[in-house]
Structure 1
């Protein structure tokens, strides 16, 4: 029996594939456990810089496994949330590569990522209200922070789907691709991997936390996070590489 979560690592990029194509990659407890473990590995490994999460069989994820839900299975991991991700994203960059559908919990997985790359025919949506449910794994709190509130309200209350073109127009996704989303996501990941790993990690932390910072402490909090970067070996290496017109050799120190 194949694993419900497949892991591939290549040149600093971890690709995490939800692997239940027969169920449109619906999230059960085994998927949640596998994703949570992958996110732990991502943050703890010095060799890994960026991760991509995608789905097998031409679709991203149809949401929570409702058959499992009816049997009492809740695919939530303590400290990580639904699908082992939505309440505890990794400290390093995470890209969603979306083909087919990202619905309900599937869209909430994508919303928990830092960037989204989608195939042109992809569709997004949080249709939980149509089923008498609520998008409680991030749909109702992340969506209005990522697109205009009135649009988020409409999509949440109607449950209507959003095509990739519209998702790009309203700033929900980063890139649209005619080919498989994973190929474009790997190109984006490679660009990030070429940058200083300490700088990338600190940059993500500032950008994800700054919204909650009071104005009077904003600069102090930023300085606390980025100050060590300027004193790092990588900062000196980056400056030297630029001056010498060569590729930097990052050590993560």
Structure 2
């Protein structure tokens, strides 16, 4: 063993033996844990940078992270509610996920990565990151697992974004807003959200998450809109030129290059625009027992395919229309990750056995199959999808629809069950993002596309 590595291993063993015992006192535990984690950062700094480590050096670094994360999990298990109260003025101030993540890093040193640390991680390909987002996963597991703090996090994420509020007057005045890779247009009483991430067949990434949440907010905020519709734009890709595509799932190229964020994408999409489609917008957070909510029915128009995140998204809609050549799949197991909240929703929609075939076995469901009737309300010719959307939108504008969908969702997606699922999802997905098998899959995918 090289001398520098032997020195590091010895330092790690001495440091591990000094792990503090949590004493159920937030102030005392914060100081002790922060000092312990600070020493961990010094040990990591004495090792070569992540891209330059040997396997033995990386194993030593991983040992430091593993010990640190066990203490982090114990800390947020014991003090998650107190930490949340300090970050939100006792729950009186709403805070989005990114605000909580970086405020926590300031309040308790080294509990979670700073904004600068995450920015540095984003400059590296996924296999060469330090894996700091795993610490954010632990933080949100701790915040979401508590009924009180977790409910406040969910409610905060249902509030409209500042970007949407700034663009609302433009939509009201002109009837249309172009956000970049998503556009919104009001036609009659229908808000048409068109996804046009053309460079990657509407694959999802941080940018699309930002634009799609803004679009969903705008539809829900505009009083002239009574029904929302999401549909993919015609593509420019040679294989699908001029054909509409709903969604190609997570952008694996961006994931390989380290540009898919746990907080700004994987958690934001579930607690942001997908939850807003299901639950509506919270407009008044001052009265948690009786908030003012802007809620509307939603239609998904699925052309060609809904892969991964596309199928996850479709599960949240009130009415799904698919062209008869379309297909649905959740290839997350093959990609090594967890398919968002699909594990929460799919058994209810398809039944437990078929849900396992889709999630664990990678089964595709084609619109022509009988099983597709469990996913879709209508299946039609591709050139009739638009007319089917118009007819469904007319029907869903009935005055009682909103109240009835609210009651259906109350039974279908109890908020406490969803919160508990998302707490575990934050923890498990953050580990999956940096697991050895995912790194191998990403490297293999990148090489197979001729880019190695």
With the shorter chain as reference, the TM-score category is 0.7 to 0.9
Q: Does 1:175 align with 2:381?
A: no
Residue aligning to 1:104: 308
Report the CA distance between 1:167 and its aligned residue. Answer: 5.8
Distance in 2 separating the partners of 1:2 and 1:192: 26
Q: Which has the larger radius of gyration?
A: 2
- Selected match of 1:7 from 184, 203, 210: 184
SS in 2 for 1:113: coil
Report the CA distance between 1:39 and its aligned residue. Answer: 1.6
Report the CA distance between 1:179 and its aligned residue. Answer: 2.9
- Residues 24 and 212 of structure 1, relative CA distance in 2, 3 Å threshold: closer
- Residues 2 and 201 of structure 1, relative CA distance in 2, 3 Å threshold: closer
Distance in 2 separating the partners of 1:161 and 1:115: 20
Distance in 1 separating the partners of 2:394 and 2:362: 35
SS in 2 for 1:160: coil
Q: Is the 8 A contact 2:365 2:372 kept in 1?
A: no
Q: Does 1:154 align with 2:368?
A: no
Distance in 2 separating the partners of 1:40 and 1:2: 12
Deviations 1:205-251 (A, max 9, x none): 111112467xxxxxxxxxxxxxxxxxxxxxxxxxxxxxxxxxxxxxx
- Residues 200 and 65 of structure 1, relative CA distance in 2, 3 Å threshold: same
Q: Does 1:165 align with 2:368?
A: yes
- Selected match of 2:392 from 181, 188, 191: 188
Residue aligning to 2:209: 32
Distance in 2 separating the partners of 1:169 and 1:123: 9
Q: Does 1:117 align with 2:329?
A: no
Q: Is the 8 A contact 2:202 2:246 kept in 1?
A: yes
Residue aligning to 2:221: 44
Q: TM-score, normalised by structure 2?
A: 0.43
- Residues 84 and 74 of structure 1, relative CA distance in 2, 3 Å threshold: farther
SS in 1 for 2:184: strand
Report the CA distance between 1:26 and its aligned residue. Answer: 0.5
Q: Is the 8 A contact 1:14 1:42 kept in 2?
A: yes
Distance in 1 separating the partners of 2:413 and 2:271: 25
Q: TM-score, normalised by structure 1?
A: 0.75
- Selected match of 2:274 from 58, 77, 86: 86
Q: Which runs of 5+ in 2 are unaligned?
A: 1-177, 235-243, 281-294, 415-452
- Selected match of 1:61 from 247, 264, 276: 247
Deviations 1:179-200 (A, max 9, x none): 342331222012222x22xx22
Bigger share in strand: 1
SS in 1 for 2:300: strand
- Residues 108 and 19 of structure 1, relative CA distance in 2, 3 Å threshold: same
Residue aligning to 1:144: 347
Distance in 2 separating the partners of 1:120 and 1:49: 27
Q: Is the 8 A contact 1:168 1:176 kept in 2?
A: no
- Residues 169 and 3 of structure 1, relative CA distance in 2, 3 Å threshold: closer
Q: Does 1:200 align with 2:401?
A: yes
